[in-house]
């Protein structure tokens, strides 16, 4: 897992709202995603996790900072041809499967759109064959190809969305809350499918969600975001067992688990932002190998002392 697929460097995205007013949705984010891993991005609504995903795939232009995909800058000037080439490598799965599929297109056309744009198929028979193959990959039947999105249930629609993303054989898939709109039992189906596809096709995922137990289950590494900043980044096991940043601790203590005995005994820790050392601007620092926390130098010492390093 040494090879970096995506490098995000100091990424900032600002939106202007009204006159002379700017909202910084993403504030100097830096992280890497390695080939073949699943990187989970969690945080509460409004913390900038979706904006991060959308800026990485260039649905938004970055205000400053860099996104390097295979050492190539995603943003910046690009010819149409380069852009086309880049778009094939990165695809997105959206949260709401009913609004992200065109209601007037058949499933065949939805899935084949990418194939047409990138001219990956030369004739009608090949096109149909490829779509049918994709439908089978995501657990649908080839008879479904002639139907329209409204004829499917939520879980099936999300499968169509996944098939569309897979059509152009991307290397990285950004999944923005792909299961939040689905029922619990269907969530498990979709997560199992995503895991299976990753194993078979060596995909890399950026998995954005607020459901922490699902993120823990699917991710290799997790980044926690708070108000546009990444406050902690670690292996998922490490993050859940030894959270360091107080915000992560409070977030983890708030997850309800389906275990009544645990719930009865649960002590929630509230996050109080005022406990932080304000003598200097906090930076992203490595507390343990592979475990990064946003903190000041003083806090770094304190965290290390607590951990006994």
Residues lying near another protein in the complex (CB under 8 A) are found at 44-45, 153, 155-156, 183-189, 191-192, 195, 210, 212-214, 216-217, 240-241, 243, 249-263, 265-271
The nearest distance, CB 218 to another protein, in angstroms, is: 8
**Which residue, 20 or 267, has its beta carbon nearer to another protein?**
267
A 10 A CB-CB count for 146 gives: 11
CA gap 249, 244 in Å, rounded: 7
Provide the pairing of β-strand 90-93 with 72-73.
unpaired
The nearest distance, CB 214 to another protein, in angstroms, is: 6
**Which residue, 145 or 209, has its beta carbon nearer to another protein?**
209
The nearest distance, CB 265 to another protein, in angstroms, is: 7
The nearest distance, CB 164 to another protein, in angstroms, is: 20
Bridge partners (DSSP) listed for residue 23: 15
**Which residue, 63 or 269, has its beta carbon nearer to another protein?**
269
**Which residue, 63 or 180, has its beta carbon nearer to another protein?**
180
**Which residue, 91 or 187, has its beta carbon nearer to another protein?**
187
CA gap 198, 200 in Å, rounded: 6
CA gap 161, 182 in Å, rounded: 13
Bridge partners (DSSP) listed for residue 13: 26
State the residue for tokens 């932080």: 276
Say if CB 178 and CB 95 are below 8 A apart: yes
CA gap 88, 15 in Å, rounded: 27
**Which residue, 75 or 249, has its beta carbon nearer to another protein?**
249
The nearest distance, CB 32 to another protein, in angstroms, is: 25
CA gap 181, 175 in Å, rounded: 13
The nearest distance, CB 52 to another protein, in angstroms, is: 17
E strand or H helix at 252, and its extent?
helix 246-253
Half-sphere exposure of 268 (CA within 13 A, CB side): 10
């Amino acid at each position: 897992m040494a090879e970096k697929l995506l490098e995000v460097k100091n990424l900032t995205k600002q939106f202007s709202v009204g006159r002379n007013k700017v909202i910084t949705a993403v504030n100097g984010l830096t992280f890497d995603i390695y080939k073949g891993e699943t990187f989970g991005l969690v945080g509460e609504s409004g913390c900038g996790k979706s904006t991060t995903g959308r800026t990485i795939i260039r649905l938004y232009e970055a205000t400053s900072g860099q996104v390097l995909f295979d050492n190539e800058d995603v943003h910046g000037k690009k010819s149409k041809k380069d852009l086309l080439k880049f778009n094939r490598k990165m695809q997105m799965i959206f949260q709401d499967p009913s609004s992200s599929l065109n209601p007037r297109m058949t499933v065949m056309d939805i899935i084949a759109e990418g194939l047409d744009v990138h001219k990956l198929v030369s004739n009608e028979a090949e096109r149909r064959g490829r779509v049918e193959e994709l439908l089978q990959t995501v657990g649908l039947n080839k008879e479904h190809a002639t139907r329209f999105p409204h004829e499917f249930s939520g879980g099936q629609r999300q499968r169509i969305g996944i098939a569309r993303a897979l059509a152009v054989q991307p290397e990285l898939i950004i999944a923005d809350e792909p299961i939040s709109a689905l029922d619990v039992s269907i969530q498990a189906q979709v997560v199992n499918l995503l895991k299976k596809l990753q194993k078979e096709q060596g995909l890399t995922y950026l998995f954005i969600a607020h459901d922490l137990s699902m993120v823990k289950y699917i991710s290799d590494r997790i980044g926690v975001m708070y108000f546009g900043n990444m406050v902690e980044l670690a292996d998922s096991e490490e993050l859940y067992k030894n959270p360091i940043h107080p915000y992560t601790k409070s977030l983890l203590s708030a997850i309800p688990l389906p275990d009544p005995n645990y719930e009865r005994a649960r002590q929630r820790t509230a996050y109080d932002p005022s406990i932080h050392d304000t003598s200097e601007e906090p930076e992203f620092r490595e507390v343990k190998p592979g475990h990064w926390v946003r903190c000041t130098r003083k806090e770094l010492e304190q965290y290390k002392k607590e951990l006994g390093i």
